[in-house]
Structure 1
């Protein structure tokens, strides 16, 4: 069964590129364009990895990361943060994400970080 990745990214083009890349790597991808949409997801389904953009129109990925890490049912699921505006240091100091992907991102780096994070889960 394919590993499931939840992607929270407001930019439609970036979201579609990430979906395409990860689906080619045989992952199941569920995408959300806003924090509200992400929060309304089916609570019975679980992801194997969360890939979260930081700057979103209705909130930010760091807050979502903090919420996921405080929730018993999601605290052990790896989180990768993405941003064109924040630094790895900023993210490391603010939430317990397993990694950071700067935008524009390198496709091989994205695939490697996702693969490593899922394998170590």
Structure 2
């Protein structure tokens, strides 16, 4: 059975590129354009990993990350935060995500980071 990754990204181009890349790596991808879509998906299925943009139209990825890490059912899901904002040290102090990556990012580096968490 394929491992499932949720990608929460409001930019359709970035969402499509990430989804395509992860599908090429043989992951099942559920792409969400906002926090509402994400929580609807979470009610149906718990993923193996979550990739979150920080700035979303109806909320932010930090709140999602904190909700996941604060829930006993989901605290073990690896979370990767993405941001075009280069203030990752400030972001790191606001949530317990396993990884943080700046946009734009190198696709090979991104895929290697995801693979590292999915193998554990």
- 1:72-107 CA-to-partner distances (Å, cap 9, x unmatched) read 111001000000014331222010100011100110
Structure 2 gaps of 5+ residues are: none
Q: Hey, what does 1:88 align to over in structure 2?
A: 88
Number of equivalent positions: 120
Q: Hey, what does 2:17 align to over in structure 1?
A: 17
Structure 1 gaps of 5+ residues are: none
Q: Hey, what does 2:39 align to over in structure 1?
A: 39
**Secondary structure of the corresponding residue to residue 67 of structure 1:** helix
Shift >2 Å, 4+ stretches = none
CA distance in 1, matches of 2:111, 2:71: 26
Matched, 1:113 2:113: yes
The Cα RMSD (Å) is: 1.1
